[in-house]
Structure 1
Amino acid sequence: MTTEAPEIIEVEDTRVACDGGGGPLGHPKVYLEMGDEGFVECGYCDRKYVLKQGAEAH
């Protein structure tokens, strides 16, 4: 059995909101802040938000 990799979403801001895709399969909306790493992972759904190349960190 293989495990799917978490979804990776490229964003242009270091602050993101995640609701797991909304609807009945989603989760409560959480706001996430990237550190110096340039990415952040949601603790509920494991989505990984990555800062797009060329985007400036705030």
Structure 2
Amino acid sequence: MKILIKEVAKSQWQVRLDQHAVTFRSEAEARAFTRTLEARLYAPHQIPDLSQHRAAG
């Protein structure tokens, strides 16, 4: 995922996530959002065991 931060107007910042954009009132808010997003994206994730789910249903 490509993440881009840019100022789009005075006191308005935008974080672009591929084709999606989220607007913030300050650069600090945009950067905090980006840090949280990247931490979640790069956090370890478990892949569910679908064979157990199918056996139960």
Q: What TM-score do you get using the length of structure 1 for normalisation?
A: 0.24
Q: What TM-score do you get using the length of structure 2 for normalisation?
A: 0.24
Taking CA–CA contacts closer than 8 Å with sequence separation of 6 or more, which of the two structures ends up with the larger relative contact order? 1
Structure showing greater Rg = 2
Question: More helix by proportion, 1 or 2?
Answer: 2
